[in-house]
Amino acid sequence: MMDHSDTMSVKDSHVRRVLVIATHAFTQLVRMKVFYFLAIFAVIAIGSNFFNLPQHEGPESAGTEVLRSIKSWSLGAMTLFSVVISIVATALLLPKDVEDRTLYTILAKPVPRIDYLAGKLLGVMMLVFVSLLLMDVLMTAVLHIRTSMVLDQRVAYATELGWPQEAIDSMAAEVNAMGSTWSLQGAVLAVFLRASIMASLALLVSTFSTSTLFTATVSFLIYFIGHFQADARDAYLHVGEVGQGLVAKLVTLLVTLVLPDFQLFNVIDAVIEGQVIPLVTMGKLVLVALYYALFFTIASWFVFSDKEF
């Protein structure tokens, strides 16, 4: 019978193995030169500063549109890059290990298959995390500089007009809310959570898929259909009211139960529009993402556990 210290050491060895595999997967992906896309992101983040269309506002409210534009372009690019990286990188990993015969070497050792899969998934998540972190730093820097410029300009204008201090403070708060806020960091976290769910889902698909292309295609399809899941759920729950038949009921039920609800992570749009995400809401989104990631990883292990190579 194992005592407490033995249990701890088994746990430690699992964690160590997962971390080693994760670091290896991360290095492997970095060597594929994925970070080159950051140059494109930099162009987007800086370029979004120049979409300064003639507008209806007077000088007392000018400039906030540019801040919204920077956030919209940057978070849009982050979403796109993170989803593409998480799907493509995960889809590549297993076939590449088979092709390089690394998989045989690893599985010949006493490495539990769940450790191998968890390590690979963690490696992809690390890559997505580092990518988002770099993009976030760049976006925050651009936004911070631009917000200061807009604020200086508007405070100068308000002071010239002799606005009372409370009005200037209110205006400054409005401008700052459009700049770099904690909610904006929350939106970046939501981008990461959605990409993590996609990576774990792509991992599940890749355990029974026969090619990288198949995994990537199916995963992208699931990503897009996942944004309809909430609609399917509503249709299922109100199916009797609209007189749909049994087939419609079954289809909507299947979509509801099988696919993740990606619409939940569209809170990003609200942040771009200047709204605040409460911490509790953020916590709930993290819980949802953890639930999906854990389930898909365990399901991947279940499929992968006795797969012959």
Partner 1 sequence: MKAGRKWVILVVAVLGFGAVRLPFEKSLHRELLDVGLLTEPLDIGTRDRIGQTSSAVALGGLRTLVATFLNLRAFGYFTVQKWMDLEETFEMIVDLAPRTRYYWETGSWHLAYNAASYYINDSELPALRRREEWRRSILKGRAFLERGVKNNPDDWSIAANLGFLLSDTYKFQAFRDPDESFAAAAEAYQRAWNTGNALGYVERSAFYALSRVRGREAEALEMGRQLYAAREKNRTPTLLSMIFVLESHVDPPKDPVARAVELFGSEEKAYQVLSGHWFRTRERFPVYGVAGVVKSLESKLGIAEKDSVLNRPLPTPRSLDEMFRDD
Task: Considering the complex, state which of residue 119 and residue 226 has its C-beta at the smaller distance from partner 1.
Answer: 226
CA distance 268 to 182: 12
**CA 205, chain centre distance (Å):** 19
Pull the structure tokens for residue 72: 């919209």
- Report if residue 272 touches partner 1, rule: CB under 8 A: yes
Site membership for partner 1, residue 240 (CB under 8 A): no
Query: Which uninterrupted H or E stretch holds 62?
Result: none
Q: What does the angle CA 266 – CA 268 – CA 270 come to, to the nearest 5 degrees?
A: 95
What is the distance between the alpha carbons of residues 25 and 206, in angstroms, rounded to a whole number?
16
# binding residues, partner 1 (CB under 8 A): 60
**Distance between the two ends of the chain, CA-based, in angstroms?**
34
C-alpha distances (whole Å) from 34 to each of 41, 131, 200, 268, 276 are 12, 9, 19, 24, 32
Q: Which of 18, 87, 277, 289 binds partner 1 (CB under 8 A)?
A: 277
The verdict on 233 binding partner 1 (CB under 8 A) reads: yes
- Smaller CB distance to partner 1: residue 28 or 209? 209
- For the segment 51-110, give every residue that binds partner 1 (CB under 8 A): 51, 53-57, 61, 64-65, 68-69, 72-73, 75-76, 79-80, 83
Minimum distance between the CB of residue 287 and partner 1, rounded to whole angstroms?
A: 8
Positions that interact with partner 1 (CB under 8 A): 51, 53-57, 61, 64-65, 68-69, 72-73, 75-76, 79-80, 83, 163-164, 167, 170, 174, 194, 223-224, 227-228, 230-231, 233, 237, 256-258, 261-270, 272-275, 277-278, 281, 284, 288, 291, 295, 299, 302-303, 306
